[in-house]
Amino acid sequence: MPPRDHSSIPVDKLTEEQAKAELDRLAKELAAHDRRYYQEDAPIISDADYDALRRRNNAIEARFPELIRSDSPSRKVGAAPTGRFGKIRHAVPMLSLDNAFSEEDVTEFVARVRRFLKIPEDETVAFTAEPKIDGLSLSLRYEGGKLAYGATRGDGETGEDVTANVRTLDDIPERLKGRKLPEVCEIRGEVYMLHSDFLALNKRQAEAGEPVYANPRNSAAGSLRQKDAAVTASRRLKFFAYGWGEISDVPETTQSGMIEWIGEIGFRTNPLLRLCRSIEQMLAVYRDIEGKRAKLGYDIDGVVYKLDRLDWQQRLGFVSRSPRWAIAHKFAAEKATTIVNDIDIQVGRTGALTPVAKLEPVTVGGVVVQNATLHNEDYIKGIGNDGNPIRNGVDIRIGDTVIVQRAGDVIPQVLDVVLDKRPKSAKPYRFPTVCPVCGSHAVREEGEAVRRCTGGLICPAQQVERLRHFVSRDAFDIEGFGEKQVQAFFADGLVMEPADIFTLEKRDRRATKKLADREGYGEVSVRNLFAAIEARRKIPLNRLIYALGIRHVGETNAKLIARHYGTIEALRDGLTAAGKGPESEAYQELISIGGIGEVVADAVVEFFKEKRNREALDRLLDEIEVEPMEQARSDSPVAGKTVVFTGSLEKMTRDEAKAMAERLGARVAGSVSKKTDLVVAGPGAGSKLKDAQKHGVKVLSEDEWFALVK
């Protein structure tokens, strides 16, 4: 029986096991969306939907702090560089910002800053407020006043070298102005495109028969990452500076002073930036900028507030992927009204049946959209994730006039139905109970929001998707073997399973009709394809595991499993033995892997219990060589350990202590259990100290903690 999907269960109703499964699912799903947004410039969900996934992840972590994963989305920003450009490691990480979605969120943000710094209520705390540009983050390093290089954000630690391209932007100076410039100075900001330039570019693309861009953000990102700098130069990109990274001599003491200085040395800064001395002023600036949004000529998706005093910024520091001293107050998603012409059911790689509304084309926020996600059958019926009616229980029907919303994305969601415009002939939509691709029963397990095809290996939709996943960038990464080739070869019966890819050349030599004779191919292209396949006959164990497409096993879990077992032989033997049952020693070994819970373990075990899966894997292993996985290493004495702080700490605040431990790779929990490794106890420690003694957990004083972590 496959593991259950718990995405429909409210956070406060989740059991610990369900919470583990949800954190695993969210880590995988958010990593995939990060890759599509940051690497491919082609997101598939709206900003609002993405933010909702992050909020759910953060809410689960807040309720179950002991379950926070080492690869948690709350600790990551962006995605790894694509490999198309050289890599540059940022001297100071380029982090993301936490989001605020309401005035209450902003008020709480300011209150957190005051609590952390112990600032009395009668003392003024100033913040800057400026538009949040919807573009591509860029870091520019100057040495001796001269531009040394430009790098994208990448995964926050390492970005792509786009120096040649940034030199073509008029807003980026080759040399800084002024005297007594810092020897090293990194200026950071956002590359964006004006609406007028975006529309002109798409017109040129269409006239040339080239693909058009979905929105200015994607266009700016794609334009900056061109291999030919001349193409970048033709795209008329703009740049706003809003911050800095490494700087050898900080010339000002405030955020507002630094932005003014950045303008003086040659950069464009946003003229709408304001200094605010109260929450009321911050919200007033937000409303003012929101009112001007449509007339700015470029895309923004919110307002960023930053604490003005730099010494206070330094004291607050960072948490996970974002600074404590800044937050992005997001705008509400943009909306439009259109008609549902049809409802299409798409079958995904895991067999999930996903409904998509086929819309009368409509422009939403400057983007023409024709499709909208309907999420699942409950959403169509007007039932929420918690079982309560949404949209006042109004269902969605073919022919309905609906309100759609988006936030910087192509694919919006249907937000509401305009009931007084519903045609009399419109009938309630009947969600299919059979797979539209293979005809197998489509079942919905108790507690799941998703209906899935039971066809498994025989469903063409899943087979094609599994092969696409197998050859994808983070799996086998076979150049020239993309979606089009997978679909064509599958349709012709040439590649039906992974092993077929590696026997393709041998079979082609014996075939009457050669690949080179196919439309769109030739001797050179076929030779290149076979060479690309040959180059992937040797693969690291973790990439092989990820390529198998096992549910709940993303890149991170694949690495955890690979590091534990080390070799393909040990992996196959161990996971096959784990199929004997949860009481078996092999199964207990599997769930003992840090970060691997029962949901992931069950998914992996089910894969290896299936005889046809093992046979297909054996056929693949006859064709490839699997490289052993290096074991994980760490220099920190507390990396990977679970730490609890209790009592009154005297050398730093509780928040600072937690932040310090997390920087060293530890997991900070709010309660003591048998899984806790260390308890750091100050004066006044109470029940947690007793729990530590009860579970035999090592207890350190604050001084002993500092001695341990040096």
Instruction: Give the catalytic positions in this structure.
Output: 132
Helix, strand, coil in percent for the chain, rounding step 5: 40, 20, 40
Residues 376-391 as b/e (b if ≥16 CB within 10 A, e otherwise) read: bbbbbbbbebeeeebb
Tokens 């439009």 appear where? 336
In 86-219, DSSP assigns E strands to 87-89, 99-100, 127-133, 136-143, 146-152, 158-160, 184-192
Contact 300, 133 (CB under 8 A): yes
- Is 563:632 a contact under the CB 8 Å cutoff? yes
CA–CA separation, 306 and 313 (whole Å): 9
What is the spatial distance between Cα 671 and Cα 62, in angstroms, rounded to a whole number?
12
The sign of the dihedral angle between the CA atoms of 644, 650, 655, 661 is: negative
CB 153 within 8 A of CB 137: yes
667 beta partners: 642
Cβ neighbourhood burial of 68 (10 Å; 0-12, 13-18, 19+): buried
Token pair in block for residue 344: 């299409």
CA 463 to centroid of chain Cα atoms:
26
As a whole number of angstroms, the distance between CA 192 and CA 298 comes to 8
**Tokens for 28?**
């995988």
Q: Give the start-end residues of each E strand in 515-666.
A: 538-540, 625-627, 642-646
**Strand (E) or helix (H) holding 571:** helix 568-578
Integer Cα distance of 46 and 134 in angstroms: 13
CA dihedral 606, 612, 614, 619 (to 10 degrees): -150
Cβ-Cβ contacts under 8 Å for 656 (sequence gap 6 or more): 317
Order of strands, edge to edge, in the sheet holding 326-330? 99-100, 326-330, 300-307, 127-133, 274-276
Q: Are 558 and 543 in contact (CB under 8 A)?
A: yes
Calpha distance 637→412 (Å, rounded):
47
Burial (CB < 10 A; 0-12, 13-18, 19+), residue 38, is buried
DSSP letter for 666, please: P
309-339: buried (b, 16+ CB within 10 Å) or exposed (e) per residue? bbebbeebebbbbbbbbbbbbbbebbebebb
User: Do the Cβ atoms of 125 and 110 come closer than 8 Å?
Assistant: yes
